[in-house]
Chain A
Amino acid sequence: MNEFALLVAATLAAGTPLAIAGIGLLVNERAGVLNLGAEGMMLVAAVAGFATGYATGSEVAALAAGALAGAVIAAIYGWLVIWLNTNQYATGLAVSLFGSGFSAFVGLGLVGKKLEETEVAGVPLLRDLPVLGVALFRQHPVVYLAMALTGGVAFFLHRTRSGLVLRAIGESPVSAHALGYPVRRIRLAAVVVGGTLCGVAGAYLSVVYTPLWVEGMVAGRGWIALALTTFATWRPTRLLLGAYLFGGVTMLQLDLQASGVQVAPQFMSMLPYLATVVVLVLISRNPLWIRLNMPASLGKTFFPGS
Chain B
Amino acid sequence: MIRLEPRATPSMAMSILSPVIALAITAAAGAALFTALGKDPGQALSVFFLEPFNGVRAISELALKSTPLVLIALGLALCYRSNVWNIGAEGQFLMGAIGGGGLALWVTTAEIGMSRWLFFPLVILAGAMAGAAWAGVVALLRDRFNANEILVSLMLVYVANLFLSWLVFGPWKDPQGYNFPQTVSFAANTELPRVIRGMRLHWGTAVALVAAVVMWLFMFRTFTGIQLQVGGPAPAAARYAGFSSRAAIWTTLLVSGGLSGVAGAFEVAGPMGQLTPHVSAGYGFTAIIVAFVGRLHPLGCILGSVVLSMFLIGGELAQSRIGLPSALAGVFQGVLLLSLLACDTLIHYRPRWSRGS
Contacts and interface: CB of A to CB of B under 8 A. Distances in A.
Given A97-B330, A108-B327, A227-B151, A85 B162 contact: no
B216 interface: no
Given A84-B342, A87-B341, A98-B335, A266 B163 contact: yes
Nearest to A105: B327
A99 B332 CA distance: 11
Interface centre among A86, A108, A277 (most CB of B within 10 A): A277
A94 B334 contact: yes
Nearest to B332: A101
Classify the secondary structure of B's interface with A: helix
Contact of B170 (A227, A264, A269, A274): A264
Contacts of A266: 162-163, 165-166, 169-170
B292 interface: yes
Interface in A215-269: 219-220, 223, 226-227, 230, 264, 266-267, 269
Contact of A91 (B289, B327, B329, B341): B341
Interface string B323-344: 0010111111111011001101
Given A223-B154, A266-B162, A277 B147 contact: yes
A108 B332 CA distance: 16
Contact of B327 (A36, A86, A101, A273): A101
Interface residues of A, number: 46
B223 interface: no
A181 to B, nearest CB: 16
Contacts of B180: none
A280 B342 contact: no
A192 to B, nearest CB: 17
Nearest to A98: B334
Contacts of A6: none
A280 B152 contact: yes
Interface string B313-357: 000000000000101111111110110011011001100000000
Interface centre among B141, B166, B331, B334 (most CB of A within 10 A): B334
Interface in B139-158: 141, 145-148, 150-152, 154-156, 158
Contact of B341 (A86, A230, A270): A86
B113 interface: no
Nearest to A92: B150
Contact of A270 (B145, B159, B169, B325): B159
A100 B330 contact: yes
A76 B341 CA distance: 12
Contacts of A303: 6
Contacts of B163: 266, 270
B85 interface: yes
Interface stretch (A133-141, A155-163, A199-207, A283-291): A283-291
A90 B331 contact: no
A97 B341 contact: no
B64 interface: no
Nearest to A83: B4
Contacts of B327: 101, 104-105, 108
B349 A85 contact: yes
B263 interface: no
A76 B339 CA distance: 11
A276 interface: yes
A142 B154 CA distance: 28
Given A284-B147, A285-B145, A90 B341 contact: yes
Given A86-B345, A90-B341, A266-B165, A97 B145 contact: no
B160 to A, nearest CB: 10
A5 interface: no
Contact of B146 (A80, A269, A285): A285
22 contacts: A76-B338, A80-B338, A84-B341, A84-B342, A84-B345, A85-B345, A89-B85, A90-B80, A90-B292, A91-B338, A93-B337, A94-B334, A97-B333, A104-B327, A105-B327, A105-B328, A230-B151, A264-B169, A277-B147, A277-B152, A277-B156, A280-B147
8 nearest A-B residue pairs (beta carbon): A101-B330, A98-B334, A266-B166, A94-B337, A105-B327, A84-B345, A104-B327, A266-B162
